[in-house]
Every structure is written in C-alpha cells, then in structure tokens.
Amino acid sequence: MTETILANAMLVLPDEVVAGHLVLRDGRIAAIGQGRSVPSGAIDCGGDLLSPGLIELHTDNLERHMEPRPGVDWPHAAAIIAHDAELASVGITTVFDALRVGSVVTDNNAGYDEYARAVADEILELRAQGALRISHFLHLRAEICSQTLTQELEKFGPADRIGIVSLMDHTPGERQFRDVSKLRDYVIGKKGLSEDQFQAHVVEQQALRARVGDAHEAAAVAHARRYGAVLASHDDTTAPEVAVSAGHGCHFAEFPTTVEAAQACRDHAIGVMMGAPNLIRGGSHSGNVSAVALARAELLDILSSDYVPASLLSGALMLGDLWGDMARGLATVTAAPAAAVGLKDRGHIAEGARADLIRIHRVGTAGALRGTWVQGQRL
C-alpha cells in the first residue's frame, strides 16, 4: 500500500475552492480534509491550487511530433513518447490522441495519406509496455471529404480504446473554410501551391464531397456506435448544421464557428468546445467566432489545447479569472471533458476518484506547474 498526503493546498472541488489536504492511496483519493494543517510526512503545497489532472479531448500535438517539419517523417515511437512527455509536463493526465481517418490518394495537393491504423497500433503497444506516463485513448477524426474513410474505419474495433469519433468536413466553402480566402492562405502558405494548383484542389475536393459525403457521414456515425465511442461534430457554422449533428447523437461540438451555431448547440444540449489558443489570443486564426465572446455569452463548456498543449492550463485559469469562479474555469478542462466522454473515475476531486492531480502556483494571471500525479504517482 502506497500513501501520499498533499497538504496546505487550495483544493479545486467541483463547485468551490477550499483550503485542505488529500490522502492518496493505491492510485485513488482516499480522504479529503479541510484546513491548512500539514501532517507529519505530508507534502506542503504552500497554498498552491490542487486541481484534477487536465483532460485533453482534441490535440494536433502528436502530428506535430511525427512531422516536425513539412515532409519530415520522424520515427513514430520516439514521437509518441515525446508527445506523451510534453503533455505530462503541462498538466495533462488524460489525452485522446487525434488521428485522421480518410485519405485522398488522387489529389497530391490534399496531402492526405493513410496513417491512422499503424500509429494507433504503436500507441497501444507503447501503452501496453508501460512506456507512456499519462492515460491515452484514441480520437478518430473522420474526414468526410476523402476517398478511403469507410475502409479505414473498418480497420478499427471496440478493443482499440476509441473514445471519440468526430465528423470532420474540410470541403472548401464549408464550415471552417466557408471563406475560401482563408483556406487559400492556409493551403498555399503550408504547401507552397500555385494559384492554379489551389484552384484545382478546390474543384476536386468539392466534387469529392458531392459524390461521397453523405455516405461517409453515415458510415462514421455507424462505426462510432460499433466502437462504443462518443460522437462529436466539428466546425458547425449554422443552426441547421447543429440540428443534423444533434440528430446523429453528437455529445459535444468542436469549435463551432459562429455564435448562431454555439447557441444552437446549447438549445440541443450539445456541449461547446473551443480552443484555448483562440481564447488566449483573443480570436480565431481562421476568422471565426472568438472563444472570449462565447465565454462572456455563457456558451462555452470545454476547452481544448488544439495545437498548443500549454494553453490548456493557461486558458482554464483565464476563464476562472474572467468568470470570477476558479472552480468553474478549471472544470472546463477537467470535469466537463470527463463528462462529455463518459469518464466517471476522473476529472474531479472526490473520495474514490482516480488520483490524477496537478499542483498550480499562480504567478500573476499565469500558472506555474509544480507537480503532476497520475494514479497517485508523481511524474
């Protein structure tokens, strides 16, 4: 039996922040006490915040490690281990690793080659070997505008720890890229296409969506049910699009692009996820609705680090300050994402809960991480 006591901390409980201590035993929270006393043998947290570990539902960070520069394919095992270590270093104790399924094999400008099944096998094998520090699940990003989505989805099954399937539609002129000029800036800047190459890419992608889009969307919904995974929408823009997502049974919406879509999500009891980089920067890099605007309108439930892992903690603290309620701010990266994907054993401080915890020292409006525990073990 292993036991750790974390004392003289400000405990981030589900609805309040109170001074107290925790007893961690055999990977669980065994007891909770209030007050600032420091029992013999306890770790004195010096009044720092003690929060549940952060839960990340959507991150592009693994892809960044696998391709650190355009065209550079880094060894995957090393990339996965580095990704895992980076997340642990910023307080993320549970991650849903996002892998794109659905490739485009006839349009070289799309840049969509198949990789998900092979990388999923590597993640699961490293996890089985005990090589990863934090808890990993899979998040399959089902690219509707692709040629191989159904075939790739068929390669996965209920044993693959798939927690989320998101419906991704990056068709030019739709959703995130309803403004095609934003897509032009992104694609030409990232891939160095000529204007003629970009226009050819737009025409091919739009034609592909017209041919296979509806069938692919139905297949993604069906396979999510087969895996036992939660379904998420992505980049909903209009109320009718949200109604379709609700009809599919989506639990949460990743990055709705307008206030109209976010309000429709609220009306359909769909959780609204926004990117912490959007929140911190004060706006979307794609020209869509700002996360700050949705937070002020009471239309933001969950934060994702998206492409900056360290932004998750910073964004949650920023929301806590904005709302004047630190428990609520940190819930957007702990309790709310846990509830969205049905993880009942983590995301909150309670007796019997999994002892995934982080210690945060406030430095002005920022937060310095002073400790991370996963199942009661300090990393």
Strand partners, 43: 6
Q: What is the pLDDT of residue 213?
A: 79
Query: For residue range 116-131, what is the model confidence (pLDDT) as tens digits?
Result: 999 999 999 999 999 9
Structure tokens given for 253: 């919406």
Is the same domain home to 291 and 204?
A: yes
pLDDT band for 209, please (50, 70, 90 cuts). confident
Residue 128 contacts residue 151 (beta carbons within 8 Å): no
- In this prediction, residue 175 carries a pLDDT of 61
pLDDT at 242 (0 to 100): 97
Given a contact cutoff of 8 angstroms between Cβ atoms, the answer to whether 22 and 31 are in contact is yes
- pLDDT score at 182: 60
What pLDDT score was predicted for residue 216? 93
Q: Are residues 175 and 272 in the same domain?
A: yes
**Whole-number Å distance between alpha carbons of 226 and 156:** 10
User: 221 falls in which pLDDT band (50, 70, 90)?
Assistant: very high
Q: What is the mean pLDDT of the chain?
A: 92
Mean pLDDT of 181-207: 65
Across the strands, what pairs with 25? Answer: 3, 28
Which residues lie closer than 8 Å to 49 by C-beta, 6 or more apart?
9, 10, 12, 17, 326, 330, 359, 360, 361, 362, 367
The fraction of the chain above a pLDDT of 70, given in percent, is 90
Q: Are residues 377 and 267 located together in one domain of the fold?
A: no
Question: Which range marks the domain in which residue 247 is found?
Answer: 54-345
Closest-CA residue to 52 (of 351, 354, 352): 354
> Is the pLDDT at 80 greater than 90, yes or no?
yes
Residues 6+ apart with CB under 8 A from 239: 260, 261, 263, 264
Check which CATH number belongs to the domain holding 146 and give it: 3.20.20.140
**β-strand partners of 374:** 377
Count the neighbouring beta carbons within 10 Å of the beta carbon of residue 197.
15
Q: Give yes or no: residues 219 and 193 share one domain.
A: yes
341 and 367 share one domain: no
Angle, helix 259-267 to helix 239-248, in steps of 10 degrees: 40
Torsion of CA 75, 81, 85, 88, to 10 degrees: 130
pLDDT band, residue 173 (cuts 50/70/90):
low
Q: Are residues 32 and 61 in the same domain?
A: no
Whether residue 16 is found in the same domain as residue 120 = no
Residue 195 sits in the same domain as residue 324: yes
CA distance 147 to 112: 10
Q: With residue 241 as reference, give the H or E element that holds it.
A: helix 239-248
CATH code (residue 357): 2.30.40.10
Same domain, 262 and 371: no
330's tokens: 């940190």
- Kindly report, residue by residue over 104-113, the tens digit of the pLDDT: 877 555 557 8
The two three-digit tokens of residue 176, written as one number: 């995130």
Do residues 129 and 172 both lie within one domain? Answer: yes
DSSP state of 323: H
Total domains, the chain:
2
The pLDDT, as a whole number, for residue 163 is 98
Rounded Cα distance between 83 and 58, Å, is 14
Confidence at 212, pLDDT banded by 50, 70, 90 = confident
CA pair distance 206, 162, nearest whole angstrom: 29
Q: Are residues 204 and 64 in the same domain?
A: yes
For the purposes of burial, counting CB atoms within 10 Å of the CB of 201, is it exposed (0-12), middle (13-18) or buried (19 or more)?
Answer: buried
Segment 136-144 mean pLDDT: 96
Res 176: pLDDT: 63
Element (H, E) at 360: strand 357-363
Residue-wise pLDDT for 334-354, tens only, equals 999 999 999 999 999 999 999
Is residue 206 pLDDT above 90, yes or no?
Answer: no
356 phi, psi to nearest 5 deg: -100, 115
In 102-209, where do the E strands start and end?
135-143, 162-168
Phi, psi angles (nearest 5°) of residue 137? -120, 175
Would you say 74 and 66 are in contact if contact means Cβ atoms under 8 Å apart? yes
**In a shared domain, residues 122 and 84:** yes
pLDDT (average), residues 292-321: 97
